[in-house]
Amino acid sequence: DVKVTQSSRYLVKRTGEKVFLECVQDMDHENMFWYRQDPGLGLRLIYFSYDVKMKEKGDIPEGYSVSREKKERFSLILESASTNQTSMYLCASSLSRQSHSNQPQHFGDGTRLSIL
């Protein structure tokens, strides 16, 4: 069974700090995703990556960057955290982009980030 592990369940940081959220998947998936989830807004895609060192912007990339140096690890970086980035962050992975069908995503259990 696919396991997507996010390094922290809860995280509290201060405004202006550089914040790293880490995600690791154990099934050799090519695609990895970062979402944020807010009440009333559902899940919104921040960034995704379909290969090592490759990244694409999602709907709301402003204020975020990502890093994918190894296939199994996808990091989300808040360059200078702000209070409006307080949210639940979800990482996901899916098998491959080399398929005509849409690959189901496997999600981690999320990191609840509070920026004070």
For other proteins, the closer of residues 14 and 44 by Cβ is 44
Q: What angle do CA 21, 22, 25 make, to 5 degrees?
A: 145
Residues 59-98 that bind other proteins (CB under 8 A): 59, 90, 92, 97
Edge-first strand order for the sheet with 4-6 is 4-6, 19-25, 73-78, 64-70
Q: How many residues bind other proteins (CB under 8 A)?
A: 31
3 binds other proteins (CB under 8 A): no
36 binds other proteins (CB under 8 A): no
Smallest gap from Cβ 1 to other proteins, in A, equals 11
28 binds other proteins (CB under 8 A): no
For other proteins, the closer of residues 77 and 88 by Cβ is 88
Are the beta carbons of 62 and 73 closer than 8 angstroms? no
What CA–CA distance (Å, rounded) separates 21 from 46?
A: 13
